[in-house]
Every structure is written in structure tokens, then in C-alpha cells.
A = this chain, B = another copy of it.
């Protein structure tokens, strides 16, 4: 059986059913104002012909494609390398975006862009001709270019710098999350000598986390940062950081706690410590950020901060759809609360695993040049459990809602 290449068009249906194309169109879209008898007859022809409307023609006519693009940085190495893990972030974002979009009957165009791609801008330009709006991951293109893209088509930046101009931004509350984590190491475990494994200089989220670390340490006079190295967010760079640490401080002068800018690096650090016979958490604590699944499997299991990535994806998507519907909206920064996940690597016993409840949602309005109007919206009807109150984490005028409520997890 040779495949038929000819696809039925609206005209074919109309002709065969003996009606006009307008009528067929009405029926396809389930409008009323059609006599039931006609509807039935036409529907039959549609089914027989297997007619499906051509989306290109629809888009052209309606001036709307009902497609949005999701662009994220391609950080994956040629083959099954552990580096992949940095991508898990976008995989989860995706799981938040896609269902939201599907609900609306829209489609998702997915693209990875090599970091620092010289043609990045051109690619985004051409992409902008294929969609009604763009969800762009942090680090895909420099922000100067971002705003140029945003002139052509609505843009929401994911995990982006909250200072981005002319575009909406949805991001996790890195600062409060990191603050809560360090605060825990200080208050619950009494650590004082910290070491930091930082992320790439270009990553705004790593930057936020570092600032939080420094702020908390500054609040506790006995605590200090004895050193830090910069990693690449990968397991491998974590391993290297661990080796560097061992070389630098030797076995006797190790820090009390190693704070890593993300989970893969924390896993890498633990690997090199294990190899050297250093025990975690007995000899020192290690913590990460992100809460990726492998962190819960590692030995010891990893204490970290959970970013609700699906929610970030979903909110970003919602925001983009809103903006497409009403392009005149003012750009907004949405900060999604993070949650502390206490496991073994900080010294907490496995049984006492706790997790913070996402308390509220911080929404920062930004209209024109005026900055600083702050709106706080509750996320759900979720009851805010009582817990230790942490002080607001920031030194800036912006008040981000902190990861400030901790409740026990169910066993």
C-alpha cells in the first residue's frame, strides 16, 4: 500500500459535502449557527476524508500561531557524561511548561542553544518568527540582545537575573534558600569554618547564593569563610574542587562545612572526599543546591535546597501567555520560594529529614523605570506552618520572601 501524499483541504470537504467553506470551518470549530442536519452530513465527510486543518494556514489567517518556544542552554557533552546533570534543570522546567501549554491547546517548540553560540542571536531571531512568545533560559544570550528579541516578541526569562530590563523574569529565591541552608549549618550544627565551591561567574543564581552565604556569615561573628574555588556546575568540577581542598588544607585543617553552589558539584566533592577517606558528615559537612534526584541516593544523602522547578516552568508559561494576550503589561519579576531539604550530609540523621514548606510567593512589579513596588501574593490556600522565623535575608531594598518555615517531612 503506497502512502497517499495528498491531504484533504477545507475546499475538498466543502465541495463533497455540497456546502461552502465557511460552513465547514464553523463545524470544525464547533460553532453553533449550523443546522444539525448539515452539521452531521459535513462531519461525516470530514471523518471519511480524515480532514485535519492545516496549522500554517490557520496561523496565517488568525495572525496567531499558538506556539511558544522554549530555549535553554545546551550544556550536554557529546555522550552520556555526568555533565548531563546540569540539564536536569531544564527537563524539570519542561515538565512544568508543557502541561500548562497543552491545557490551552498551544504547542511547544523546543530548542537548545550552545552556550556562547556566536549565531545565538540570529537563531533566536529566526525562532521568533515561528512562535508567539519565547521562554528563554538564563545564559542563552547576553541580556543586551535579550531586550532586542523582546521587542519583536514577548519574552520571559527563566532563572534570569532579576535586573533584566524589558522582559519578565521568573526565578527561584536563591538568596533566601542559601541563607536558610547556611543558617542551619551554623545554628543546628555549630559549624564555623566554611569553604565555598562557587558556580561560574556568569551565573546569576550562583552569585545570589554566594551573596547569601556571605551575609549569613557576616551575621555570625565566630563564623568565617576560609576559602573558595570556582566550579562549572558539573560533577567533575566538584571532584576537582574536592582535590584542591585536600591539597590546600591537608587532613588536619579541613573546614567544618563545604557549601556548594549546586548539587552536582556537591556530589563531586563528596566523591573526592570519600576517595581520600574523609568522612561526611563526621569530619565535615557538605551541602548543595537544587535538590536533584541523585542527591537523595548518594552516600551520605545530600542536604540541599529544593527549587520547585516545575512550578517555575509553569509560572513562566502562565506569565508568557498573559503577556501574549495583553502585550501592554508591565514587566514583572516573580520569585518562587525555595525549600530546605535536610538529609545526612550536613549531619542531620536520616530519620529527621525535614523540608520547608513553600510559604508564599514574592512578586516584584517593575513598571517603566520605577523599581521597587512590591506585591506579595499567597501561593495557594496552603496553611503556613509555624516554625523558626528567620530574618529577612537581603541587604537590598527588595524584600524577597524567605525560606523561613521548616516542618518535618512525613517518613
The chain A residues found within 8 Å of chain B, CB to CB, are: 1-5, 7, 50, 52-57, 59-60, 65, 67, 74, 76, 79-80, 82, 84-85, 87-88, 91-92, 94-95, 98-99, 102, 107-112, 125-130, 148, 150-152, 154, 166, 267, 291, 293-294, 297-299, 306, 310, 327-328, 368
Contacts and interface: CB of A to CB of B under 8 A. Distances in A.
Contacts of A5: 327
B82 A98 contact: no
17 contacts: A3-B154, A3-B327, A3-B328, A50-B152, A52-B126, A52-B129, A53-B129, A56-B60, A56-B65, A74-B99, A80-B92, A80-B291, A98-B112, A108-B110, A110-B110, A294-B297, A297-B298
Contacts of A150: 3
Given A107-B109, A267-B297, A152 B52 contact: yes
Contact of A52 (B98, B110, B128, B267): B128
Contact of A55 (B76, B129, B327): B129
A104 to B, nearest CB: 13
A98 B91 CA distance: 14
B111 A107 contact: yes
A107 B111 CA distance: 8
A67 B148 CA distance: 25
Contacts of A92: 80
B109 A108 contact: yes
Contact of A57 (B60, B102, B151, B306): B60
B112 A99 contact: yes
A60 to B, nearest CB: 4
A87 B298 CA distance: 20
A2 B76 CA distance: 38
Given A87-B95, A297-B297, 15 more contacts: A1-B368, A7-B152, A52-B125, A55-B56, A55-B65, A55-B130, A56-B56, A79-B310, A91-B91, A102-B111, A107-B111, A110-B110, A267-B297, A297-B298, A299-B299
Contacts of A57: 56, 60
